[in-house]
Amino acid sequence: MSEPAMPELAGELTGELAWGRHYLAVEPAHFRVDYVINPFMDLADQPDPVRVREQWDALVATLRGLGAVVDVLPQRADAPDMVYAMNLGLGVRSGGERKAVLSHMRFPQRRMETDSARDWLVEHGWTTSLIGRDGVGAHFEAGDAFPFGDALVVGYGPRTEELALKHLAAELGIRVRGLRITHPGMYHLDLAFCPLDERRALVCPSALDAPSAAALLDLVPEPLVLTEEEALSTFCANSVVVGRTVVMPACPDRVRARLEAWGFEVVLVDVSEFHKGGGSIRCLTNPVDITLGRDLPLTGGAQVVLAPH
């Protein structure tokens, strides 16, 4: 696969996120709502296939126009949610090696996605590993996992199980900071947390129990705190960052003002058809340029840190 131009140098010089310049996305040939596994899904409210394709094409074109690399994986006909590529697995790089810890979906309706993702990744030079399979073992969904600061920050509760944090830490030799998600509408961490650069992130504390919310706010030196209503009505935390540009599905005026004051440019891309399945821009894109030893400091062993209950 082609590589983005000098992502490490860009991050070191400016304090920007060094990752987020290379994505995997799934072409939405078969996106629809066949079942209900989150509060946004409604069998009577089906996405329009023409608008789906137009919105997805616009998102990919926007990311590529910002200089990001976007690789595209075909969608299985029997996997309508596969378009939410963020949940296929956690890809990391170390030296010249690429490794993906594949997701073990909590709901059986999505588990076949992992097989297709594994085949594609192996074909493109990745090695893969599993935390669980076919409902056996801990559940892990990669939309709950982000590198930030000194650790991989992982939400657990609705989709990812606490036991998965130990597997991730041991598999990668990193520190994992676990946050307990309690809000049914923000069932993945990517609906409530979006790293912006080395010091800043969008954070919606309402997604978490009180100790975890406090721990996340302590972890982020300069949080942009979202209200519950902002996060749920706009999906604004489910955004991606390419350098100093935040690609968002919508942006409340207050949030835009803060982002622009920090030197970010906000670019809006309408992906409202995908909101019918419970995901937005981050859910549709999986960063595959996260690097061990740079974005995720190696600890020499497994370390799991949980907020007190």
Position 31 scores a pLDDT of: 98
Position 2 scores a pLDDT of: 35
CA separation (Å) from 120 to 73, 274, 302?
7, 23, 28
Residues with Cβ within 8 Å of residue 13, at least 6 apart in sequence: none
Q: What is the pTM of this model?
A: 0.93
Determine what percent of the chain is predicted with pLDDT higher than 70: 95
Residues 99, 103: Cα–Cα separation, whole Å: 13
The answer to whether residue 132 sits within a structural domain is yes
100-136: buried (b, 16+ CB within 10 Å) or exposed (e) per residue?
A: bbbbbbbeebbbebbebbbebbeeeebebebbbeeee
Helix (H), strand (E) at residue 251: none
The answer to whether residue 1 sits within a structural domain is no
CATH number assigned to the domain comprising residue 85: 3.75.10.10
pLDDT band at 5 (very low <50, low <70, confident <90, very high): very low
Q: Does the CA dihedral 53-51-20-154 come out positive or negative? A: negative
Lowest mean pLDDT among 11-20, 41-50, 266-275: 11-20
CB atoms within 10 A of CB 12: 12
pLDDT band at 15 (very low <50, low <70, confident <90, very high): confident
Give the active site residue among 183, 188, 194, 275.
Answer: 188
Contact call for residues 183 and 207 (beta carbons, < 8 A):
yes
Residues 210, 308: Cα–Cα separation, whole Å: 9
Position 300 scores a pLDDT of: 84
Q: Does the CA dihedral 280-253-183-239 come out positive or negative? A: positive
Position 13 scores a pLDDT of: 38
* Number of domains into which the chain is organized: 1
pLDDT band at 308 (very low <50, low <70, confident <90, very high): confident
Does the annotation count 283 as an active-site position? Answer: yes
3-class SS of residue 210 = helix
Looking at every residue in the chain, the average pLDDT score rounds to: 94
pLDDT at 9 over 80: no
CB atoms within 10 A of CB 171: 16
Q: Which two tokens stand for residue 130?
A: 């599993």
Give the active site residue among 204, 236, 251, 283.
Answer: 283
CA separation (Å) from 103 to 57, 109, 172, 175, 187?
25, 13, 15, 19, 15
pLDDT tens-digit readout, 119-177: 999 999 999 999 988 889 999 999 999 999 999 999 999 999 999 999 999 999 999 99
Q: Where are the alpha helices (DSSP H) in 75-179?
A: 112-123, 162-172
pLDDT at 8 over 70: no
pLDDT tens-digit readout, 238-274: 999 999 999 999 999 999 999 999 999 999 999 999 9
Host domain of residue 166:
7-306
Contact call for residues 255 and 226 (beta carbons, < 8 A):
yes
